[in-house]
Amino acid sequence: MAILENVDLQSYNTFGIKVSSKYFTIVHSAREASELFASSLFKNEAHLFLGGGSNLLFTKNYDGLVIKVEINGKKVIAEDEETVSLKVGAGENWHALVMYCVEQNWGGVENLSLIPGSVGAAPIQNIGAYGVEIKKIISSVEAIEISTGLPKVFSNAACQFGYRESIFKQSAKDKFLISSITLTLTKKNHRFNTSYGAIEEVLKQQGVQALTLKSISDAVIHIRSTKLPDPRRIGNAGSFFKNPSIQVDLHDFIKKEYPSLPSYPAAEGMVKIPAAWLIEQCGWKGKTFDKIGVHPQQPLVLVNYGGGEGEKIWELAMDIRDSVKAKFNISLQPEVNVVQ
Ligand SMILES: Cc1cc2nc3c(=O)[nH]c(=O)nc-3n(C[C@H](O)[C@H](O)[C@H](O)COP(=O)(O)OP(=O)(O)OC[C@H]3O[C@@H](n4cnc5c(N)ncnc54)[C@H](O)[C@@H]3O)c2cc1C
């Protein structure tokens, strides 16, 4: 396993922030990961696991070891008439996996088309879009424990999935490298989910008569391509903040002054508010500050127009958070992992 020094990370993060890491290596297998964890370099340096870098904001050069996870491969490990269990290496590209499943006519992941990043990072924040979260189809996550170098299997329940949450962001944070995940996908009687967002509308426009996994995937790709900036053209990491859940009382209070306040059902006594709406109300939509800004169509997405600094994007995010707190008494939490 080659250890490189002073590696430029600009092409390894979708914000396109120009920072470097003191050390950089790539792991291709669980065995390589275990060996690395036993090494003195690993023990003496801070470490950061890296997939596609699409949910990360680097605020400065990384003074430690960046470990890019490229554990690849996919394998059917069980199958019956109705379902298939597919084990997939953490380093595989998520969207390529979705395309593969759609081609095989295996259902469950089609609404999650075009989400950037790696398979291994997908369970960490329980990726979700268009009415589906990965927790619905994940049966287990295999990870290598850093302290022992041994594999451990987390069942779906053990992953403690929540909205953009899992045990890997809480008590298991920084203790495991995710090496593979296993998905349970349908081979027939697919449970199509077209209830969310503009999917129905796009299907109608495209003249789709009989639903297929491909028609849903195509519709999601169409909607996402028109709504979200492509990180290959404008640096970004998708939604910067999570949508907050607030008490019904606070919601009712705000609604009196802002009758247009949108909301969605959440846990009992709570409602979810789109963070994008809150940010727009505070006047941030489309604002630019030198090389960075808030996207003109999607205020939840902070952007690097080229040459922007991570530190400045983080300062902007904190200004946005403070203004939302001051105006609505709602605390926004970042969805993006900020490396400080
Ligand atoms: C344009 C755009 C649209 C997006 N849309 C969505 C969306 O609709 N829904 C959604 O949920 N997300 C969305 N995202 C966010 C992002 O794509 C997901 O969070 C994705 O799962 C991140 O994968 P990654 O491999 O790039 O993770 P990275 O950014 O590389 O890493 C994210 C975190 O996981 C850790 N990590 C990565 N790999 C491993 C591993 N193998 N083991 C242990 N820790 C690891 C990293 O240290 C870091 O803390 C979007 C991002 C962009 C840029």
How do residues 130-165 score in pLDDT, each as one tens digit? 999 999 999 999 999 999 999 999 999 999 999 999
**119, 181 Cβ separation under 8 angstroms:** yes
Tokens 């962001």 correspond to: 169
Catalytic residue, candidates 70, 92, 142, 335: 335
pTM: 0.97
Catalytic residue, candidates 164, 179, 245, 321: 164
CA atoms within 13 A of residue 40's CA, in its CB half-sphere: 0
pLDDT band for position 195 (cuts 50, 70, 90): confident
| Closest ligand 1 atom to Cα of 54 | 26
pLDDT band for position 286 (cuts 50, 70, 90): very high
The pLDDT value given to residue 51 = 98
In the three-class reduction of DSSP (H, G, I as helix; E, B as strand; rest coil), residue 294 is classed as strand
Please indicate whether residue 335 is annotated as part of the active site.
yes
C-alpha 275/C-alpha 272 separation (Å) is 9
Residue list, ligand 1 pocket, CB within 6 Å: 14, 48-56, 69, 90, 115-118, 120-122, 124-125, 127-129, 177-178, 228, 231, 236-238, 337
Read off the DSSP letter of residue 158: G
96 to 69, 91, 103, 109, 192: CA distances (angstroms) = 16, 11, 11, 11, 20
Neighbours of 219 (CB within 10 A): 27
Alpha-carbon Rg for the chain, nearest whole angstrom, is 21
Catalytic residue, candidates 215, 217, 239, 263: 239
Segment (H or E) for 188: none
pLDDT digits (tens, 9 = 90+) for 53-67: 999 999 999 999 999
Best mutation site among 124, 167, 236 for ligand 1 pocket (most ligand atoms within 8 Å of CB): 124
Going across the sheet that includes 4-8, the strands are: 4-8, 20-27, 62-69, 46-50
The pLDDT value given to residue 196 = 80
Q: How far is the CA of 180 from the centre of ligand 1 (A)?
A: 15
